[in-house]
């Protein structure tokens, strides 16, 4: 039963993140993004790497207002954790806003100058 509830939590967090309903913030820990709820809960998603194998691991933690960890879920049991991490990262770092601004700057034609009749020598 706990694994089912954990998976449901990850699914709902992922959906809410994609819909812009969660404000994720970068923390001082590398590859960690967090969001606070009701002033008493903090949800964090992390990515770490096994130095020996290079394998990436993702996990989600929930801590209470006192900083005590009340739950930790690893991507071994929650397959959507890497997606949640990436969505939280994108929201926190405003990746979609940066891409949108860059696309506007480049323009629809990819920044290539338009060829006019004056450019044709004959």
- 50 Cβ contact partners less than 8 Å away, ≥ 6 residues apart: 56, 57
Mean pLDDT of the chain: 88
Q: Which residues pair with 33 in a beta bridge?
A: 26, 45
Rounded (5°) CA angle 26-30-36: 35
> What stretches in the chain show pLDDT beneath 50?
1
Q: How far apart are CA 3 and CA 53, in angstroms?
A: 27
3-state SS, residue 48: strand
Specify the pLDDT at position 79: 86
pLDDT of residue 106: 85
- What pTM value is reported for the model? 0.78
Two tokens, residue 9: 């939590």
User: Which pLDDT value is given to residue 42?
Assistant: 97
């Amino acid at each position: 039963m706990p694994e089912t509830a954990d998976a449901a939590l990850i699914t709902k967090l992922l959906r809410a993140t994609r819909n812009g309903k969660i404000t994720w913030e970068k923390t001082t820990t590398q590859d960690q993004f967090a969001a606070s709820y009701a002033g008493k809960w903090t949800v964090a998603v992390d990515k770490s790497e096994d130095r020996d194998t290079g394998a990436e691991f993702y996990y989600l933690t929930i801590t209470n207002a006192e900083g005590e960890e009340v739950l930790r879920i690893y991507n071994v049991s929650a397959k959507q954790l890497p997606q949640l991490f990436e969505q939280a990262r994108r929201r926190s770092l405003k990746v979609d806003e940066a891409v949108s601004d860059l696309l506007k700057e480049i323009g629809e034609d990819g920044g290539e100058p338009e060829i006019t009749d004056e450019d044709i020598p004959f």
